Structure formats: structure tokens, C-alpha cells
Amino acid sequence: MIVANLSEFRPMPPGTRLLGLDLGEKTIGLALSDTTLSVATPMQTLKRGKFSADVVVLEKIIAEQGVGGLVIGLPLNMDGSDGPAARSARAFARNFAARSPLPIALHDERLSTAAVTRTLLEADASRASRARVVDKMAAAYILQGALDRLRSLGEK
């Protein structure tokens, strides 16, 4: 099941984690929540290949980490419309959902990479250092935003 609104995200089994994905053209940034769904932590960056190969790696991580759902960054245009990157993220989510029963939430990620890059620049990280970590940190930024939104929905 794919939802674009976190208020529709179905509950996961207790003690499971969310896996956040920042889908780029060449890489996939990954972040993992804790089991209380409070904190997102950057995990790793995968080099993108064919969808089937990427899914095998993701399924292994999902099994090893006790993941109960995915949050995929949805890179909308600034006016909220879908561009090529958003259409690609939606296609990835649809294709993944066809292979897995896990719930998938698409979460608006406008400016996530820019925010992370700005933070890294403020920390005086070198260009090489930024390149190594920006994707997994963007995934954590996206996932943390989703966790915060889920928490606020639960408090209402």
C-alpha cells in the first residue's frame, strides 16, 4: 500500500523500524528509525543499478533491521507539481509495492538535499566529505520529517 499522506499510513507491528529512502539518479540514501519511531539515523548510500538488483539489497536490509515500512522521499517541484524525479520516485514505490507487503509512504522532500548540504557547509565539511554523506543524511532528514509528522498526528 502506498500513501502520499502520512495520516493514511497504516500502523506497523510494534518494535519495527521505518527505512527512509532518498532516491537519486545514481545513488539511494538510506536512513533507519529507532524502534520507537522517534529518531532517524543516516545508514548508508547504495549505488543505484537495475531496479531488481536494488530491491534485493533493500530486501536484505529490511529483513536484517526489522523494518516494518518505508518512507520514500518525493521530490516535488517548488510549486508542488510532479517533475521527472517525482515521477521516478512514484514508479519506484509502485514497483516496490508490487513485490512487498510493506506499507510505503511518499513524503515531500523539497529542499532536503539543499538543507543537508547547507548544514555540511556550515560544519566546514570538505567537498569529498559532503559527497560521501549527503545522500544518507538527506534520507535521515526526510525520515525525521515523516517521524515528526507521524508523532504529531498521533497526538491529535
pLDDT tens digit sequence for 74-118: 988 878 788 888 999 999 999 999 999 999 999 987 666 666 566
What is the pLDDT at residue 56?
95
14 by Cβ neighbours in 10 Å (0-12 / 13-18 / 19+) ranks as: exposed
Give the pLDDT band of residue 137 (cuts 50, 70, 90): confident
Q: What's the number of domains the chain is made of?
A: 1
pLDDT higher than threshold 60 for residue 40: yes
50 vs 155: which has the higher pLDDT: 50
- The pLDDT > 90 percentage for the chain reads 55
Amino acid identity at 117: T
- Domain with residue 74: its CATH number is 3.30.420.140
Model confidence at 29, in pLDDT bands (50, 70, 90)?
very high
| DSSP type of residue 86 | H
pTM: 0.85
CB 6 within 8 A of CB 105: yes
Look at residue 131 in the predicted model and tell me its pLDDT: 55
Mean residue pLDDT across the chain = 85
Domain enclosing residue 16, as ranges? 2-155
CA gyration radius, the chain:
15
